[in-house]
């Protein structure tokens, strides 16, 4: 199984809502990533987890809260988002080490009203 799955595919939320994005992989990868992508722009790294521990937070606002419950799952908890947070949120996973090709999921299209 060389697939990264993400749910939901689409999410519309108000600025006062709390929601979560989910990501799952069964490739045995021990590094997992959250990216934010705006239209026709490259993905921007938000967080990196390595061996279920947060290793990188790219100065992301606290209204985004990542969680890695186990080696296969990655969540992104959303609270009090702003309209400018509307984007495609991509999850990726890779092996840890030299040849860390990242496998991307299909993304969650988030709209904040």
Partner 1 sequence: AQSVSQHNHHVILSEAASLELGCNYSYGGTVNLFWYVQYPGQHLQLLLKYFSGDPLVKGIKGFEAEFIKSKFSFNLRKPSVQWSDTAEYFCAVNAIPSNDYKLSFGAGTTVTVRA
Give the footprint of partner 1 on this chain (CB under 8 A).
31, 33, 40-43, 45, 48, 50, 55-56, 90, 94, 96, 98-107
Residue with tokens 């990533």: 33
Question: What is the nearest approach in angstroms of partner 1 to the Cβ of residue 2?
Answer: 10
In this structure, the strands spanning 108-112 and 103-104 are unpaired
Q: How many CA atoms lie within 13 A of 101 on its CB side?
A: 3
Min CB(88)–partner 1 separation in Å: 8
The DSSP 8-state label assigned to residue 29 in this structure reads: -
- Taking the least distance from each CB to partner 1, the nearer of 55 and 82 is 55
3-state secondary structure of 102: coil
When the beta carbons of 65 and 102 are compared against partner 1, the nearer one is 102
């Amino acid at each position: 199984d060389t697939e990264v799955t993400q749910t939901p595919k689409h999410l519309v939320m108000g600025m006062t809502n709390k929601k979560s994005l989910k990501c799952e992989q069964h490739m045995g990868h021990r590094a997992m990533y959250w990216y934010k992508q705006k239209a026709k722009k490259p993905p921007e790294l938000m967080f990196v987890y390595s061996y279920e521990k947060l290793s990188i937070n790219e100065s992301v606002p606290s209204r985004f809260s990542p969680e890695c419950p186990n080696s296969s799952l990655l969540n992104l908890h959303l609270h009090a988002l702003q309209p400018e947070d509307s984007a495609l949120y991509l999850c990726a996973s890779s092996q840890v080490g030299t040849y860390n090709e990242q496998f991307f999921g299909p993304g969650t299209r988030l709209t904040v009203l």
